[in-house]
Amino acid sequence: MTPQERHAARRMAEYCIIQAAQHDGDQAWFHDSHAFIEHYWKFVSTESDDPTLVLEYVRTFYRFQALAGLYKEILEWSLKGAEAAQTLGDTGSLAVILGRIGSVRADLGDLSQAIDHHEKEAHLMREIGNRVGEAGALISLGADYYRLSDYSRAIESCERGIDLAREVGDSELEANGLNNLCLVLIERGELDNASGLYAQILDLDRARRDRMGEASTLGNLAGLFMRRGDYYRAAEHYWQAIQMSGEIGDRTIELKATLGLGVAYIRLEELRSAANLFERALDLAREVGDIRSAGEAQGNLGVIFKNLGDLNKAKYYLLERLHLARKTGNKKGEGITLANLGAVHRDRGELQSAIPYFEQAIAVAESIGERTAETKRKSSLGDIYRQLGEPGRAIELYQDALVVLRALGDHRGEASALWSIGLAHEGAGRYEDAVRWMQGTISAERSAGDTSSAEEHERALQELLAKI
């Protein structure tokens, strides 16, 4: 670039920063301007040789990117921002950016990297005496361990963060930590304890007159009722969150609560009402520029229309969902959607077309360590091969799933895989092998205390024995 071109590009980059400040919170503006902003980011990050400008650009657009679900973009920009902060010796900014990288890594399913970055963030915040920042980093670290299912470390990190938040008198941060702690307690089945903590969070929200926080907490409390299987009370709390967020004009919270309410209606088997809610959520997601939530709405619409038998409409929404998942780097969402597309083709009788979708879904699960999803998808693919008259390939997939299920201690899944192997042997005419594997199923179910399934399979086994 000539000096004149560099000067003009810098002026335009600075113009982008000024415009962002004038359109704070305006996701529609960001969506419309994104290509222009991204164009000048290329100059800022590769041509400007100005770490201060790089850092300012990264800071300015982070919130817009986060609300839009542009996680791959955040990661790319933040890595450059971290380099700039190191060059400038700005430890505080470096700590903040490392925390953001950690959060993005967590959203992308890379939990080991998320933990590493949040630990570094906490260390740097402690080093510079930023106790609020340290508390936030510890609470984020607790969320990482929760996602990793390491609940003891999750509790330890959350409690340390909550204690620090209380020491500095930051009730909003305290509420965030308590909310993460609730998620752990819910996963451990300690629902009454979680309910008590949500009551504390609501008190904190109301004490600081934080209606946005209160609406968000009502939505989280609805999630607790979902876990209890009390879908009517969950729906009631989601409605309260929607009404409150509507009153204060917070479309983001309204969107999350609408998505939750849609799931509650699915559980209540009110699929048409659920579809209407997810269509409303899709409109909201587009309004606020939240690509990730738009994908979630599309994925749910795909599943709903599949269950309603409208397979063409299901495929349309799932392909839209797949596009957004890949655009944002959402590997978990990509895997779920690929598996659902495979199921749509299977239900249409297009078994050969279903195979590559399930194969891709399995590869995604393996790449991000989602072992339970891996076993389900291998079992589904095994079912397809069994229907195609290829019992050898089916058995191979079922046995792969069985190894993982045993490692996970999933006794119900193990029993299901054993039965599927038995069915594959039966289809191949190897009846003695079929009986042996089916007997293994029944033994596994009795060991797990699942007597009703064991009795059902015992009857099916007797029918097979009568035939042979």
- Give percent of the chain with pLDDT exceeding 70: 100
Residue with tokens 């957004």, as numbered in its chain: 324
**Which carries the bigger pLDDT value, residue 411 or residue 132?**
132
Question: What is Dmax (Cα atoms) for the chain?
Answer: 89
Do 59 and 92 form a contact (C-beta atoms < 8 A)? Answer: no
Whether the Cβ atoms of residue 173 and residue 215 lie closer than 8 Å to each other: no
Locate all alpha helices (DSSP H) within 268-348, ordered by sequence.
271-288, 291-307, 311-328, 331-347
- Whole-number pLDDT of residue 148: 85
Those residues with Cβ within 8 angstroms of residue 123's Cβ, 6 or more apart along the chain or in another chain: none
Question: 194-225 burial, b if ≥16 CB within 10 A, otherwise e?
Answer: bbebbeebbebbeeeebeebbbbbbbbbbbbb
Residue 428 has, within 13 A of its CA and on its CB side, a CA count of: 19
CA 225/CA 157 separation, integer angstroms: 25
How many angstroms from the chain centroid is the CA of residue 42?
30
DSSP sequence for 64-97: HHHHHT-HHHHHHHHHHHHHHHHHHT-HHHHHHH
Q: Residue 77: name the closest of 56, 49, 108 by CA.
A: 56
Write the pLDDT tens digit of every residue in 363-420.
Answer: 999 998 888 999 999 999 999 999 999 999 999 999 999 999 998 888 889 999 999 9
Token pair, residue 331, equals: 């590997």
CA 221 to each of CA 138, 149, 172, 270: distance values in angstroms, whole numbers, following the listed order: 23, 21, 17, 21
pLDDT value, residue 288 = 84
8 A C-beta contact, residue 413 and residue 400 = no
Q: How many residues does the chain have?
A: 468
In order of start, what are the domains of the chain with their CATH numbers?
A: 370-468 (1.25.40.10)
pLDDT digits (tens, 9 = 90+) for 75-116: 999 999 999 999 999 999 999 999 999 999 998 878 899 999
> Do 146 and 180 meet the contact criterion of CB atoms below 8 Å apart?
yes
Nearest-5° Cα angle at 116, 72 to 126: 115
Q: Which of 362, 372, 315, 367 is nearest to 340 (CA)?
A: 315
Is residue 74 scored above 80 in pLDDT? Answer: yes
pTM exceeds 0.75 for this model = no
Token pair recorded at residue 124: 């740097």
Per-residue pLDDT of 137-172, as tens digits, reads: 999 999 999 988 889 999 999 999 999 999 999 999
Whether residue 292 has pLDDT greater than 90 = no
Kindly state the helix (H) or strand (E) to which residue 184 belongs, with its residue range.
Answer: helix 171-187
The C-alpha atoms of residue 446 and residue 52 are separated, in whole angstroms, by 66
**pLDDT tens readout for residues 12-59:** 999 999 999 999 988 889 989 999 999 999 999 999 889 999 999 999
Q: Is the Cα torsion angle 303, 304, 309, 313 positive or negative in sign?
A: negative
Out of 134-138, 246-250, 353-357, which region has the weakest mean confidence (pLDDT)? 246-250
pLDDT value of position 3: 87
Please write the tens of the pLDDT for every residue from 310-345: 999 999 999 999 998 988 888 889 999 999 999 999
What is the pLDDT at residue 457?
93
